[in-house]
Amino acid sequence: MSFRPSREPQATGNWQPATQRPYPVLIPHVCSIVPPYILRAIAENGDGQDRARALAALSMSASPRRERQALVQLAGVLVLAPRPKRRTVFDAEQRRVLPGRHARGEGQRRTHDDAVNEAYDAAGKTYDYFRRVHGRRSVDDRGLDIRSTVHFGEGFSNAHWDGRQLIYGDGDGKYFHRFTSSLDVVAHELAHGVTQYTAALGFSGQCGALAEHFSDVFGILVKQYWLGQTAAQSDWLIGASLLTKRVHGAAIRSMSAPGTAYDDPILGCDPQPAHLRDYVRTREDDRGVHINSGIPNRAFSRAATLLGGKAWETVGPIWYRALHELGPRARFQHCADATWRAAGELFGTGSAPQDAVRAAWKDVGIDVSAAVLDDGPRLPVRRRVRDVFDPPVAAAEVPFLT
């Protein structure tokens, strides 16, 4: 299958991702909720139908990096006027062409299709969380229309952010339920868009693992916010409602206890490390983006638990602020430093949140840099981090504009 942009971009003006004209789809690993190693395990261990479906999902997961990189770069250079909340849900009707048939627009009545209503409602809850807690207007902070396509493919077991919209499969019903049924999965995918427009983190290795990490962070925060749960009450699980009873496992990932989410004869064993000493070096999974995200995930849940109370009032704002300090090639160390600085800026130098953040990173084997500790939060940290790791994008470097 070949991949092509859905339309020619405009050289100037308010560019928006095209959705009116159908376009064929290839899906990047890094923005999928189900990582390739789980699909590969199902292909190896499952029956004939399992194998066919898993291989089909894997074959769609080639990485159209140029396409997504172009969208990331466009996000940084184009300015759109702020707009109110706007959601549109499409129905692919079990085909693999996007966006599909228009099913529900903003303010329109519920339909008889659960997947359509779930996608609409979960996008709204995620939008409202970011607006109320972080003051952010949609994915791009300028009111970008949140577009979702449900019923993508036949028995398709994944959910994705493809750089412009959300895509949901119905699940195979055997190992995975419908992907719109999980609020934290929807929030995880939308958070990929937030990261794309904020830090433009890369797609592999540590920066890719950080992208997965931030998506899990906002996925769990949205879940906790709407359930009214404190850090102590949360299960810290991503995709807890996704797995069927047939699977020996609680979820796809555990943020508080990485490596313990599932252990199943078909899906395999959760490979996530919880400490830097166990960092997994692999070529698979875009160099372990869904695997090594366990390390910062554990630091985040640890900091939240140390502080207690509602995580969206403590560590949530810290991580959101820190995301603005990171760039495409950020590593775990930069995230530790940025979150420590952000804690100082938001809550004060030597405050309990700042101490908790430092202790949490230490628990996973990462010390906040001595130079950062010495400098304190008063220095122009934004320049120091971004100048090194986020060189400005010249218009000539953006493929769609040249």
Whichever of 50 and 212 has its CB closer to Zn ion, that residue is 212
Q: What angle do CA 220, 161, 35 make, to 5 degrees?
A: 70
Q: Is 61 in the site for Zn ion (CB under 5 A)?
A: no
Smallest gap from residue 38 Cβ to Zn ion (A): 13
DSSP of 201-247, one letter per residue? --SSHHHHHHHHHHHHHHHHHHHHHHHT--TTT---EESTTTB-TTS
Q: Is 157 in the site for Zn ion (CB under 5 A)?
A: no
Taking CB under 5 A as the binding criterion, the range among 208-216, 301-309, 314-322, 331-339 that sits at the site for Zn ion is 208-216
**CA separation for the pair 138, 131 (Å, rounded):** 7
Q: Based on the residue annotation, tell me whether 44 is a catalytic residue of this protein.
A: no
Task: Report the residue number whose CB is nearest to Zn ion.
Answer: 215
Smallest gap from residue 372 Cβ to Zn ion (A): 28
Whichever of 69 and 215 has its CB closer to Zn ion, that residue is 215
Q: Is 234 in the site for Zn ion (CB under 5 A)?
A: no
For the chain, give the number of residues: 402
Taking CB under 5 A as the binding criterion, the range among 81-89, 134-142, 214-222, 382-390 that sits at the site for Zn ion is 214-222
Taking CB under 5 A as the binding criterion, the range among 2-10, 38-46, 206-214, 382-390 that sits at the site for Zn ion is 206-214
Whichever of 214 and 347 has its CB closer to Zn ion, that residue is 214
Smallest gap from residue 2 Cβ to Zn ion (A): 25
Q: Is 272 in the site for Zn ion (CB under 5 A)?
A: no
Determine which one of 118, 189, 212, 325 is catalytic.
Answer: 189
Whichever of 39 and 368 has its CB closer to Zn ion, that residue is 39
CB 91 within 8 Å of CB 149:
yes
- Roughly what angle, to the nearest 10 degrees, separates helices 183-198 and 114-134? 50
Tokens of 231: 């850090």
Token look-up 């920066």 returns: 207
Q: Which residues contact 360 (CB under 8 A, 6 or more apart)?
A: 299, 300, 302, 303, 306
DSSP assignment letter at 64: -
**CA separation for the pair 78, 199 (Å, rounded):** 15
Q: Is 126 in the site for Zn ion (CB under 5 A)?
A: no
Q: What residues from 63 to 82 belong to the interface with Zn ion (CB under 5 A)?
A: none
Q: Is 204 in the site for Zn ion (CB under 5 A)?
A: no
Whichever of 177 and 310 has its CB closer to Zn ion, that residue is 177
Q: Residue 156 phi/psi, 5° resolution?
A: -75, 125
Smallest gap from residue 290 Cβ to Zn ion (A): 7
**CA separation for the pair 273, 344 (Å, rounded):** 28
Q: Is 195 in the site for Zn ion (CB under 5 A)?
A: no
**CA separation for the pair 96, 93 (Å, rounded):** 9
Q: Based on the residue annotation, tell me whether 290 is a catalytic residue of this protein.
A: yes
Taking CB under 5 A as the binding criterion, the range among 39-47, 212-220, 336-344, 353-361 that sits at the site for Zn ion is 212-220
Name residue 83's amino acid.
R
The CA-atom distances, in angstroms, between 80 and each of 7, 12, 61, 138, 391 are 19, 11, 30, 12, 22
Q: Per-residue x/- marks for Zn ion, 350-389, CB under 5 A?
A: ----------------------------------------
Q: Is 158 in the site for Zn ion (CB under 5 A)?
A: no
Q: Which helix (H) or strand (E) holds 83?
A: none
**CA separation for the pair 220, 234 (Å, rounded):** 9
Taking CB under 5 A as the binding criterion, the range among 6-14, 99-107, 137-145, 215-223 that sits at the site for Zn ion is 215-223
Q: Which helix (H) or strand (E) holds 76?
A: helix 65-77
User: Considering only residues 157, 198, 215, 234, which one is a binding residue for Zn ion as defined by CB under 5 A?
Assistant: 215
Smallest gap from residue 392 Cβ to Zn ion (A): 27
Name residue 82's amino acid.
P
Determine which one of 160, 177, 213, 290 is catalytic.
Answer: 290
Residues recognised as catalytic: 189, 290
Q: Which residues bind Zn ion (CB under 5 A)?
A: 212, 215
